[in-house]
Amino acid sequence: MNNIESVIICRCEEVTYGQLLSTAEKHQCTARELKLRTRAGMGFCGGRTCRVTVDRIVESAIPNISQAEIPLKYQPPIRPVSFGTVGDNIE
Amino acid sequence: MNRIINHPILGKSEDRKRISFTFNDKTYEAYENETIAAALLANGVRTLRVHEESGTPRGFYCNIGHCMECRVTVNNQVNIRACLTVVENNMIVESGKQHPNIVKRMVEQQ
Amino acid sequence: MTDVIVIGAGPAGLAGAIACAQSGLKTVVIDEFIKPGGRLLGQLHEKPSGEWWNGIKESDRLTKEAQDLSVNIRCGVSVYNLEKEANKWSVHTNKGTLSASFVLIATGAAEYPIPLPGWTLPGVMSIGAAQVMTNVHRVQVGKKGIIIGANILAFAILNELQLAGIHVERIVLPEKGPLSGKAGVPNEVLKSLTDASKLAPSSFLRLGGRLMKSDGLRKMAIKFFPKNGVKMNGTPLLLRKAAVEIIGDQQVEGVRVADIDAEGKIILGSEKIYEADFVCIAGGLYPLAELAAVAGCPFQYIPELGGHVPHHSEIMETPLDGLFVAGNITGIESGKVAMAQGTTAGYSIAKRAGKGGIIDDLLQQAVQNVRTVREQAAIQFHPEINDGRKKIYEQWEELYTKKQNEYDDVKIG
């Protein structure tokens, strides 16, 4: 309705539905490109909360793409990690 | 006061040792072996941090470590999830501060 | 030397670890949470027999059984990457790197969000968050709550909140729109609730399960759906009201709600504000498969299973050698199914590790047991679960088994 444009989708980077939709429509881009352009899903949680919504927006804004075709792509690290712990071995 | 002491099926909650910790310089009581998020909520504290840029208040959302909304500073270590971290005696917990992103503002103004 | 690393100490992970350890494999279980049990910990419901399913007791039982078999359970360990290095899996965690020939991913599910104005306010939480706060931490999430979203998960947790004396004022739908999908359309919600009528939340809906087979009847039912809702153990379920906005200055103060028609369209001028100090968003569950994704496992989107699931066979192997999956990562089902799948994965790993003896029989029994438990499930999150399972197993057959057979034929020939 009235204020859907201003609904925050990505809580970490405070990216709104309006920003995502207009970017997706303008660039007719992949989910990955949409994230890079808007920073949605690139914040602290790595898109854990918003990714499915962002995928849905891509699906609704770009004709002939279905959820089944949006690849499930994750980049490590999938959890926050401090530099000190990377590379340590434990037994 | 905000604890669920009696439960018809799960029974009475066990009597746990009380400890104290600080959150944003104020002292609070917690039960041993509970999470920071649970201890703060039991003390009526919902706001755990403010958004780094906009300053909007945030609390825990998922409570199981996925959403990162409850991240706080614990004994000077930043970005610790309050929902997965057990509170300890004399622990110093702080909300993150607002840090406006100057570069982003500049880019936006161009 | 560790033989098996199990990621996730929920019902699937613990059951898997037990089966591995019983087969003589040295097993470590890691989990992010402060105690083992995963999603079992919050679960509490009365079975049709009148007995209570107490998830905390179940977790304790599984944990003890695993520990008695010398399974090493480590909590507070977060995995951030999983990769194959020199024939072994490296599991990178915040406490360092573990390695083993076999990994069982049993990371369970995550909740679908339903974004709406005001949902970043403190006091707004996923419905699962409220469950954990209530049953695990025993802390009240608030004095007066509103649930947004009407589905099986929401009803199960509503019941748990009520048992703990937490006051939930009402359940409303999210506003219809691109962000809520079918969850904002009363007719669709009623359809999915009647499909799941085995676990009908009230006699009204149980009756509905029989009455509302046709679309016409369903429209009539939603038309006559009482304006004040159907009471679910005291909490009105309002299928003809939608949450438009969560309001509050520093934290939740209330929800702006509007009347809607059977298709979810807002009736102008009907908006009202209901006071609340907490709001639960119930969007349903999807398989949490990010670790399988970073490991390079291929995926398939299967709505009947709740979303993207890693390719896997009925004995829980993935196309990646040494990598197995079990529980909600393979599709959204009950904790009991997850346990049965975990046992299957455990025996499957043991077989792959070359454990002989009766392992083939055990594995076969375990696979059969998953089917039986699924048939008897009291809670069915996705009514078409069997169709979804069929799809993923047929795909496995097509992509992996046939190829393997052809390859074997060539080798033998």
| Residue C290 sits at the chain B interface (C-beta within 8 Å) | no
Q: Which residues of B touch A80 (CB under 8 A)?
A: 68, 79
ipTM given for this complex: 0.93
Looking at residue A32, its pLDDT comes to 86
Chain B residues bordering chain A (beta-carbon distance below 8 Å): 51, 53-54, 56, 58, 61-62, 65-69, 71, 79
Per-residue model confidence as pLDDT tens digits over B52-74 = 899 999 999 999 999 999 999 99
Q: How confident is the model at residue B82 (pLDDT cuts 50, 70, 90)?
A: very high
Q: Which residues neighbour C165 within 8 Å (Cβ) at sequence distance 6 or greater?
A: B4
Instruction: Locate the chain B residue with the closest alpha carbon to C252.
Output: B46
Q: Which two tokens stand for residue C98?
A: 């573990």
* Side-chain-facing half-sphere of C339: CA atoms under 13 Å: 18
Q: How many helices (H) and strands (E) does chain B have?
A: 2, 7
Amino acid at site A86? V
Distance in Å from the first CA to the final CA of chain A: 55
Q: Longest Cα pair distance anywhere in chain A, in angstroms?
A: 56
H-type alpha helices, A9-50: 17-27, 31-38
Q: Cβ separation of A8 and C119 shorter than 8 Å? A: yes
Q: Cβ separation of B79 and A80 shorter than 8 Å? A: yes
- Pick C4-110+286-412's CATH classification: 2.10.69.10, 3.40.640.10, 3.30.950.10, 3.50.50.60: 3.50.50.60
Q: Which two tokens stand for residue B26?
A: 């104020």
Q: Which residues of C touch A4 (CB under 8 A)?
A: 117, 177-179
Work out the angle between the directed axes of helices A51-61 and A31-38 (0-180°, nearest 10). Answer: 110
Task: Judge whether residue B109 has pLDDT over 70.
Answer: no
Residue ranges of the domains in chain C?
4-110+286-412, 113-283
Q: Cβ separation of C34 and B38 shorter than 8 Å? A: no
Give the closest-approach CA distance of C204 to chain A in angstroms: 32
Closest to C282 in 3D by CA, of C211, C351, C189: C189
Q: Which residues of C touch B44 (CB under 8 A)?
A: none
CB nearest to C122's CB, from B9, B46, B86: B46
Q: Which residues of B touch A44 (CB under 8 A)?
A: 68, 71, 79
Q: Is B108 helix (H, G, I), strand (E, B) or coil?
A: helix
Give the closest-approach CA distance of A39 to chain C in angstroms: 17
Size of interface B-C (CB pairs under 8 A): 99
| Residue C110 sits at the chain B interface (C-beta within 8 Å) | yes
Question: For chain A, what's the residue count?
Answer: 91
Q: Cβ separation of B68 and A12 shorter than 8 Å? A: yes
Instruction: Locate the chain A residue with the closest alpha carbon to C244.
Output: A1
Q: Which residues of A touch C95 (CB under 8 A)?
A: 85, 88, 90
Beta bridge partners of C111: C285
Give the closest-approach CA distance of B34 to chain C in angstroms: 7
For chain B, state the CA radius of gyration: 17
What domains are there in chain B, each with its CATH number?
18-96 (3.10.20.440)
Amino acid at site C321? D
Q: Which residues of B touch C76 (CB under 8 A)?
A: 84, 86
Strands C285-287 and C44-46, sheet pairing? unpaired
Class of domain C113-283: alpha beta
CB nearest to A14's CB, from B53, B67, B79: B53
Looking at residue C121, its pLDDT comes to 98
Per-residue model confidence as pLDDT tens digits over A17-60 = 999 999 998 998 888 889 999 999 999 898 889 998 998 888 88
Q: Cβ separation of B60 and C125 shorter than 8 Å? A: yes
Question: What is chain C's pLDDT, residue by residue, as a tens digit (413 residues)?
Answer: 899 999 999 999 999 999 999 999 999 999 999 999 999 999 998 877 788 989 999 999 999 999 999 999 999 999 999 999 989 999 999 999 999 999 999 999 999 999 999 999 999 999 999 999 999 999 999 999 999 999 989 998 999 999 999 999 999 999 999 899 899 999 899 888 877 665 544 445 555 555 555 666 666 677 767 777 888 888 899 999 999 999 999 999 999 999 999 999 999 999 999 999 999 999 999 999 999 999 999 999 999 999 999 999 999 999 999 999 999 999 999 999 999 999 999 999 999 999 988 999 999 999 999 999 998 876 677 778 999 999 999 999 999 987 666 665 555 44
Question: Mean pLDDT for chain B?
Answer: 92
Burial of C271 (0-12, 13-18, 19+ CB in 10 A): middle
Q: Cβ separation of B64 and C132 shorter than 8 Å? A: yes
| Residue C84 sits at the chain A interface (C-beta within 8 Å) | no
Question: For chain C, what's the residue count?
Answer: 413
Q: Cβ separation of A45 and B61 shorter than 8 Å? A: no
Whole-angstrom distance, CA of residue C312 vs CA of residue C370: 15
Give the closest-approach CA distance of B13 to chain C in angstroms: 8
Torsion of CA B75, B81, C42, C309, to 10 degrees: -150
Strands A8-10 and A15-16, sheet pairing? antiparallel
Which chain C residues in 199-228 lie under 8 Å from chain B, judged by CB atoms?
Answer: none
The answer to whether the CB of B59 falls within 8 A of the CB of B46 is yes
| Residue C259 sits at the chain A interface (C-beta within 8 Å) | no
Whole-angstrom distance, CA of residue C33 vs CA of residue C38: 8
Q: Which residues neighbour B21 within 8 Å (Cβ) at sequence distance 6 or greater?
A: B27, B28, B30, B36, B39, B87, B88, B89, B90, B91, B92, B93
CB nearest to A79's CB, from C79, C112, C301: C79
CB nearest to A44's CB, from B54, B62, B68: B68
A50-72 average pLDDT score: 77
Whole-angstrom distance, CA of residue B29 vs CA of residue B42: 9
Burial of C393 (0-12, 13-18, 19+ CB in 10 A): middle
